[in-house]
Amino acid sequence: MPFMLEQVRVTIPEDQIFDRGKAGIFFDFLPNNQNLTEEYLYAHQPMTPHTIPVYSTAPEPIGILDDNQEVRNRFSVIQAPVIVVARKGYAGRLFVIEKWELIVHEDAYAARPKPLYQPSINLDWFAGHYSFEFQANRTSFWGIGDFPRERFRNMDIIIPKREFQDAVADLYLSRQGLLQRLERLKEDTTSHLDDIITRYI
C-alpha cells in the first residue's frame, strides 16, 4: 500500500492519556437537514449580506442561504464550532467548522463534545487524528459507503491531555495545508498538461 500523508498520526504516550472509551461517551450529535437539493439552493440564492453556509461532505460549503426567519423555520441552524462528519461519499471524513452558524445537509451530520468534555477536546486535533480511521470504518468500501451516527458512537477512542492535543493539532493543521497545496499543484499540472496536449497533439 502506498504511503499516504493523511494516514500519519502522532502516537499518544500512555502518560499523556486523559480518558478513553466509546466516542458516544464524549460527543453529542446535532440535527442535519433534508430537502436541501441543488435545485433548492439555486432557487434560494442569497439576496442579502446576512447568510448561513450549508455544508455537506467537504470543508467547502455547497451553498449559502439568507439568514432569515423562513430559513430558520425550515432548517436546523447550529452554532459553531463543531465537527462535521461525512455520512455519504467520503463517509467518516471529519472536518471542523470554527466560526459562525451553519446548516448541515442530510449527507453529513455535526458532532460537538458534551459540555463536560468541551474544555478537554481540541476539535482540530480530534478531526486530524481520527478522520482517516473513521473513514476506514465506513459501512462499505464498494458503492456508496455510510458512516451513521451509531458507527461514530461505537468507535473506540483515546483522548489525550489537552496540552498534548493543542501541540499536535498544529502539526495536523500544517499537514492539512500541505495536502491542500499538493492538490492544487496536481490540478494545475493536469490543466497545464491538457493545454499542451490540446495545442501540440
pLDDT band at 97 (very low <50, low <70, confident <90, very high): very high
Comparing 58 with 175, which gets the higher pLDDT? 58
**Whole-number pLDDT of residue 1:** 39
**Whole-number pLDDT of residue 36:** 92
Note whether residue 2 is domain-resident. Answer: no
Instruction: Read off the DSSP letter of residue 192.
Output: H
- Which residues, including other chains, have CB under 8 Å from residue 82's CB and lie 6 or more apart? 30, 96, 97, 102, 110, 111, 112, 123
Q: Is the per-residue pLDDT at 104 higher than 90? A: yes
Note whether residue 1 is domain-resident. Answer: no
Mean predicted confidence (pLDDT) in 135-151: 81
Structural domain span for residue 84: 16-200
Note whether residue 28 is domain-resident. Answer: yes
CA distance 48 to 113: 33
Q: How many independent structural domains does the chain possess?
A: 1
Note whether residue 5 is domain-resident. Answer: no
CA distance 26 to 118: 9
Neighbours of 51 (CB within 10 A): 19
**Whole-number pLDDT of residue 100:** 94
Digit-coded pLDDT (tens) for 12-34: 999 999 999 999 999 999 999 99
Q: What is the CATH number of the domain that holds 86?
A: 3.90.220.20
Note whether residue 6 is domain-resident. Answer: no
| Cβ–Cβ < 8 Å for 126, 112 | no
